[in-house]
Amino acid sequence: MPAGEARERAAGVRADDVADVVFTSGTTGRPKGAMSTHDATLWAFRAWSEVATLRAGDRYLLINPFFHTFGYKAGILACLLNGATMLPEPVFDPAAVAARLAAERVSVLMGPPTLFASLLKLPVRPAHEVRLAGTGAADVPVDLIRRIRGELGVPHVFTAYGLSEAAGVVSVCPVDADAETVARTSGPALPGTEIRIAAPDGRALPAGEQGEILVRGRHVMRGYLDDPGATARAIDGGWLRTGDLGRLDGRGYLTVTGRLKDMFVVGGFNAYPAEIESVLAGHPAIVEAAVLGVPDARLGEVGAAWLVTRAETTPEELTAWLRERLANFKVPRHFHVVDALPRNAGGKVVKDALRRLA
């Protein structure tokens, strides 16, 4: 279009217009589009940048995928807001990243815990100028935080918790907190944000008690795209129901303890069984499928699928077929063929029985 028209259209954008629609799988397996406004996203990542200490002149190696808020908003957008240099890394390879840390004078490195664990496994510690390391809300060993600071020589390390429905960020741990606090909590609420731990009846619970994590703030989504029913269920009186379980300590620091849904976390990214099961059910050899997360030494958790089949198939064939239809992190790493799935009297699959089998 002509430059004048482009400027006119840009000038017409309002703070409360929708800036992006980030799709996230729900418990039904159908993706839901979380609509964030320009104001919500810009406000959230100005606040995030201040707590995380991202600043002008930083050189940020962008490893996290850009389809995810970690790579897009805490990556690209945060760099644009602060005048930091963006250094995209197409494919994560520990040796290549280690070489690039030195060659590009990288000062900021963020990603799931597996990224840092992979660097620590290299036979030679990479020379670098990294001053700031950040990771997600996945379980983080205390020893990993100590080793990032001690063996990798990164002085400032933080963790955070967020979800697409809150522009990608809810709480951030201070970069200079002790290793136990960084590993075992996700820090206090983002400035200007409220976190409440709620009982099933909606009552606010006191410090130390576990319940559903509710969030209220300027960055809570406008709603789900074309889904007013789901929006009404997710947002009540300005409070966003995250579906995650957690507790607040006496300092107001959040610890995420579990999930109301069956979601599991693969290398820092959320995977939802219902979505994977729905795709598996479309395979011509599969009659029924049940998926859950199982422990994995490298990624924390990976998917395992229990299948009732009508024809022979192989794990290799299923993996290739699924990779054409799902993001790689969602593809199960284990497949088990069974005669029937365990079900309760109501006909629902009893996943605890599958966990015992796993």
239 or 347, which is more confident: 239
Q: Which residue from 123, 172, 181, 171 is spatially nearest to 149, judged by alpha carbons?
A: 181
pLDDT in tens, 75-124: 999 999 999 999 999 988 999 999 999 999 999 999 888 789 889 999 98
Please state whether the predicted TM-score (pTM) of the whole model is above 0.85. no
Quickly name the fold that domain 3-259 has: Rossmann fold (3.40.50)
User: Does the pLDDT of residue 358 top 90, yes or no?
Assistant: no
pLDDT of res. 344: 65
| HEC assignment per residue over the chain | CCHHHHHHHHHCCCCCCEEEEEEEECCCCCEEEEEEEHHHHHHHHHHHHHHHCCCCCCEEEECCCCCCHHHHHHHHHHHHHHCCEEEECCCCCHHHHHHHHHHCCCCEEECCHHHHHHHHCCCCCCCCCCCEEEECCCCCCHHHHHHHHHCCCCCEEEEEECCHHHCCCCEECCCCCCHHHHHHCCCCECCCCEEEEECCCCCECCCCCCEEEEEECCCCCCEECCCHHHHHHHEECCEEEEEEEEEECCCCCEEEEEECCCCEEECCEEECHHHHHHHHCCCCCEEEEEEEEEEECCCEEEEEEEEEECCCCCHHHHHHHHHCCCCHHHCCCEEEECCCCCECCCCCECHHHHHHHC
- Domain 264-357 superfamily per CATH: ANL, C-terminal domain (3.30.300.30)
Question: pLDDT by residue (tens digit) across 184-226?
Answer: 899 999 999 999 999 989 899 999 998 999 999 999 999 999 9
Parallel/antiparallel/unpaired status of strands 239-248 and 254-259: antiparallel
Question: Domain locations in the chain?
Answer: 3-259, 264-357
> In the beta sheet, which residues pair with residue 198?
204, 212
Paired tokens of 288: 């029924």
Answer with the residue of higher pLDDT: 347 or 132: 132
Counting Cα atoms < 13 Å in the Cβ hemisphere of 224 gives 18
